[in-house]
Each structure stands twice: as C-alpha cells, then as structure tokens.
Amino acid sequence: MLRQLTYLLLLAVLLASCSQPQQLFQSPGPVTDNRNVLRQYFQPREPVIRPGDKLSLSIYGHEELSIGSANSVYNSDEVTGKWLVVDNDGEVNLPQIGRIKVAGYDIKEVNYLLEEKYRMLLKDPIINVRVVNQFVTVLGEVNKPGRYPLDNEQMSLVEILGSAAGLTHYAKGHEVKVIRQVQNRPVELVVDLTDLVTFNEYNVQLQPDDVVYIGPNENKGADEKLRRGTTIAGIVGGIALALSVILR
C-alpha cells in the first residue's frame, strides 16, 4: 500500500513537471499582413483628448488661473497634482472662462483654442495643456515591466523599452508586439528589433493605452525545464531516501 501511494505521488510530480506556463498575447489565428497593419494603424498622429482625461493648465505669468502648472507648487502629476477632468460631454470648466469643449482635439489644437479664449482677458497668453493620465503598458521580458506615462511627449517603441530598463537576456527581440485598440478591437503589430534595415520604419510612435509585450525565447523554456527537472530530482531523491528508511 505504501509503495502504491509512493508511485502515485511520483506520477503526480512528473505530470506537474510537464505543464508549461501560458504565454500572454498569443494569436492562434492567421497571421495578418504586418506591413499593412503598420501603414493603416501605426502612422504618427497626435493623440486626441477624450472624456475622462485629466488635464493640467499652465498659463505663463498667471498662476492664479493655472491648474497643475509646472511653474507652481502644485505639479502636474496624476497622483499628487491638481488637474481638470474632461466630463462625459467632453467639456472642462476653466477659471474665468467657464465650460468649453476640448474632447476630440489634440493638444496643439486645445492650446490654440484656449489662447484665443484667454486673449479676451490677457495680453498674448502663453498656454500649455498637458494630459496627465496617458500611459503605455510594457509587459514580458523587460527588466522593469510596468505602466509608463506619455505626458504628451512623442515617445517611440525603443524609448519606452529604454524606460523599462531594456530587454532581459530571455527576450524574443525579433518578435516584439505592440497592441493598440482601434474601434474597440485590438490590432497587433509585430516588430523585429534585430532587423536594422526596417528599424526606423517600425520604431513606431506610441499612443495612450498601447501595450508593448516581449515574449520569452527558447532559452527560457529550456532553463525552466532544467530547473523543474532539478527540483523533481531532489523530490524523488528525498522520497527514495525516506522509503529506504521506512521499508527496512
């Protein structure tokens, strides 16, 4: 009876060792034309303001009218700063101006629009609007995966990977995935960072809510199998030693 239980235990350990960790963002369907995806969905464009966005407003020389100004004691960070929220109608309520629609415009357009509005109160106003809740998520084989702010700056794929402290030695550098929501469906671009010929073309400018995923290469799977095998060997050896003592 004891030996039967032992065999069952060993079988369970061996079966568990055969299971593979599931990778994220694996597409079992047909491969899409990557160059067509690049041309259609990943050309440079300015992100537009959306309902729910949080905006800071800096008016140079007029901190009493600014909200979350970079020049004041209140910074424009989403966590610690002050900001305006774009409501469901796409509007914000501005000091001494009142409600104004900003959703659907990019940052340059909103800066120009507000400068025109504040020109009724100020002489040649210099205005800087920032969106403080725009992020890109980096997952997989990078040294510092996480959520990184865009802050209205143009940020490329390579720059965001630099912010994530680069790829690990297990990274599949020839198959970096950039996933973007387009009309409520995900679109995936696969980038080969090892190809210097297409590097500039595929070093795309990222958009808010993009996800960058770098999967593991074959070396990681082999190393994981080796580690599991070593662990299992230790378990089996321990069981065998215990049995040798019990069955004497």
In the structure, what pLDDT confidence band is assigned to residue 15 with cuts at 50, 70 and 90?
Answer: very low
How does pLDDT run across 117-129, given as a tens digit for each residue?
A: 999 999 999 999 9
In the structure, what pLDDT confidence band is assigned to residue 227 with cuts at 50, 70 and 90?
Answer: low
Residue 50: pLDDT above 60?
yes
- Give the separation between CA 161 and CA 212, rounded to whole angstroms: 9
Q: Which residues contact 114 (CB under 8 A, 6 or more apart)?
A: 57, 94, 97, 100, 125, 127, 129
Q: What pLDDT does 23 receive?
A: 65
Domains of the chain: 54-131 (3.30.1950.10), 134-217 (3.10.560.10)
Q: What pLDDT does 83 receive?
A: 86
Compute the chain's Rg from CA coordinates.
Answer: 27
Q: Answer whether 58's CB lies under 8 Å from 66's CB.
A: yes
